[in-house]
Amino acid sequence: MASAGASNKNQEVETNASSIPADACKRVKVGVLGATGAVGQRFLCLLHNHPYFRVAAVGGSSRSAGKRFAEAVTWRQDDDKALTEEILQMTVLECTCPALFRQKGCALIFSALDAAAADELEELFAREGFMVFSNAKSHRMDPDVPILLPYVNAPLLDVVRAQAHYVKARGGIVTNANCASTGLVVALRPLLDRWGITRLSIATLQAISGAGYPGLSAMDMVDNVIPFISGEEEKLEREPQKMLGSLGSAGRSIQSASFESVAMCHRVPVVDGHTVTVTVDFPSNAFPDTADPLKVAAEVTSVLGAFEPPKEVTALPSCPTQVTPFRLSQVILVCEDPSRPQPRIDRLRGNGMSVSVGPVKAKFLVHSKTWSVKFTTLVHNTVLGAAGCAILNAELALHRGMIRDPNNQDGILEPVSCP
């Protein structure tokens, strides 16, 4: 079981990328849509010196198009290593013209567009033969589009092969989840596999960075909590079921899991890191009625700490691993300290690609004669909850040979042999 005491364990976790030389394989040229925005900037940070991908084009709105990136962007990330001279001198391309990105040699696209623009533009790029890895909500609930989080649902990537644009031109759309759903679903996967789930009760404490920039005013957020985030409750009540579902008939759609969810969402004065508390109700046969609550909690904790993604996923560069000769997965980090997880301490664990889970508490519900457990999860909302997950999704697609070769209309880039 992966566990954490009171001290910060960030130094003990890395991602596989740090151990792979940048020239270990021929890097694939990629484009970033919405590159001047907050999530777009996070994409650039995470793609800097990535072992598989190299940013070859940046896209922006009509206001930014034609300008040098240095002139178009107001950089708001702590890390400025991504602002290489090559990136700063790039001309911002108009996001309505896929041909410009093809001319730059891009094989795939990362989309940090807002939902209003993403709906049409991501479809446009997919139609032109690009695999689009999107952070937007626009296509998440399309029946043949996966809400992909490879730690927990890597098989769902195959539904892309049924998309019309993939069949015709090897283009397609892959989305990642709402930022608050991400950490929650990682923790739910091992519980669903072991015991099943009947119902979730969810409450979120979401960081202000999730609202984008400039976001909410200081007058709204200082000394305050806002118990409403437009559209968030609906996402949390629908997305986990699809993410934890299975491929449907002939692999052409996704059959959602059947548990129910109720959610309340709150914006809190924290910069980064979404905290989600959840109560999970199990089926009546999960544990004996007379079981000891402490033993039930201990068993659930053990299952969480032992969770391992598929081997093809743990080998991907962005998957967090413990620095040991065995490179143990560090996707779920269970905190033993009852005061953890905390955003300031835990959000960057695993370079922001891990999910921290607080101590589990169990209770037998007399009226329904079922067991429930409650715990807290924490995820970095702009890393694993946004750009980091999209990059992990693209790594998996490349590894599976699903990316079209930009230099050969009928060719596919060779699957990457992950170290």
Band the pLDDT of 4: cuts 50, 70, 90: very low
pLDDT tens column, 304-342: 999 999 999 999 999 997 554 444 568 999 999 999 999
239 contacts 412 by C-beta, under 8 angstroms? no
CATH fold for the domain made of 179-379: Dihydrodipicolinate Reductase; domain 2 (3.30.360)
pLDDT tens column, 266-280: 999 999 999 999 999
Beta bridge partners of 133: 110, 174
How far apart (Å, rounded) are the C-alpha atoms in residues 122 and 111?
A: 8
For the chain, which residues make up each domain, given as ranges?
28-176+386-400, 179-379
Q: Is 385 helix (H, G, I), strand (E, B) or coil?
A: helix
Band the pLDDT of 418: cuts 50, 70, 90: very low
For residue 51, whether the previous peptide bond is cis, meaning omega lies within 30 degrees of 0, is no
From 209, 233, 240, 221, select the one nearest 382 (Cα to Cα): 209
Do 28-176+386-400 and 179-379 show the same overall fold? Answer: no
How far apart (Å, rounded) are the C-alpha atoms in residues 138 and 140?
A: 6
- Where does residue 145 rank: exposed (0-12), middle (13-18), buried (19+ CB within 10 A)? buried
> Interhelix angle for 232-243 vs 179-194, to 10°?
40
- Active site residues per annotation: 179, 274
How far apart (Å, rounded) are the C-alpha atoms in residues 58 and 266?
A: 33
Give the contacts of 70 (CB within 8 A, at least 6 positions apart).
83, 88, 89
Give me 372's structure tokens. Answer: 């429930």
pLDDT tens column, 144-165: 999 999 999 999 999 999 999 9
CATH architecture of 28-176+386-400: 3-Layer(aba) Sandwich (3.40)
